Amino acid sequence: MEIIIHPTVKEASEEAARLIAKHISNKPDAVIGLATGSTPLPLYRALIEMKLDWSHVTTFNLDEYIGLPREHPQTYHSFMWENLFRHTNIKAENVNIPDGNAAAIPAHCAEYEKRILVAGGIDIQVLGIGSDGHIGFNEPTSSLASRTRIKTLTKQTIEDNARFFGSTEEVPKHVITMGIGTIMDARQNILLAFGQNKAKAIAGAVEGPITAVNPASALQMHAVTKVFLDDAAAGELERANYFRWVHDNKPDWQKI
């Protein structure tokens, strides 16, 4: 894991955006995995400002709530069109988001996995992290080898996400999520975490043991994962100053 700590969310998000932009300009038909939630919003704003050519890009979203009508403002379908896609020239047929209203969920999940393979695999997967260490919606104790499937959210995640819905009762309990095995197959992962309430999960993921209790810790076994943090999310890392030192002393050719 490479840990990149910036004083502000804006600086961290802009560096992550430069990495994705560079990849898309080198490979116009890139396959990009995307996340939702509050964390990637400044990244998406930075990407929109860069006016990239998305016309050949294919995207796969990590997850979706089960049972909300597709046009509900809190579906990840609505989120992605509102916050990224409608501001780009991406083709609707190249956008892949799990269907939370699929009639046969296991078959849909298997088909989603197949679609990723047919697209050539994910080049860069954007990830956020839950305060309990989840990535995608792989809650603690998820199999580290899991594939796309249905999951039940923890009470903690339902409480965390109630801010988008108005009350905990309105948050769906079930979701479709890429598995940790699916995420581990991406050629590169970019994990973003901002704010003090992510500091404990980040410390566990980066410096703790690899354990299904902190699903993001599986990324320690991924060859190319960059973790972009603000100072607050880095607040419980014992080696924060070492990570800053590494970033400040990169050879020019390695800088993003």
Task: List residues binding ligand F6R (CB under 6 A).
Answer: 35-39, 62-63, 128-130, 134-137
* Residue 134: active-site member: yes
Closest separation in Å from C-beta 246 to ligand F6R: 25
Residue from 14, 64, 123, 132 carrying the catalytic annotation: 132
Q: Residue 202, Cβ neighbours under 10 Å: how many?
A: 26
Q: Which is nearer to ligand F6R, 130 or 179 (CB)?
A: 130
Q: Residue 107, Cβ neighbours under 10 Å: how many?
A: 10
Q: Following CA atoms 14, 20, 22, 24 in sequence, which dihedral angle do they give, to the nearest 10 degrees?
A: -140
Residue from 77, 134, 160, 185 carrying the catalytic annotation: 134
Closest separation in Å from C-beta 40 to ligand F6R: 7
Q: Which is nearer to ligand F6R, 1 or 35 (CB)?
A: 35
Closest separation in Å from C-beta 128 to ligand F6R: 2
Beta bridge partners of 175: 65, 151
Q: Which of 29, 77, 76, 23 is nearest to 50 (CA)?
A: 23
* Residue 49: active-site member: no
Closest separation in Å from C-beta 251 to ligand F6R: 32
d(CA 76, CA 82): 10
* Residue 248: active-site member: no
Beta bridge partners of 32: 59, 124
Q: Which is nearer to ligand F6R, 113 or 246 (CB)?
A: 113
155: exposed, middle or buried (Cβ count in 10 Å: 0-12, 13-18, 19+): exposed
Q: Which is nearer to ligand F6R, 100 or 128 (CB)?
A: 128
* Residue 14: active-site member: no
Residues annotated as catalytic (active site), given as ranges? 63, 132, 134, 139
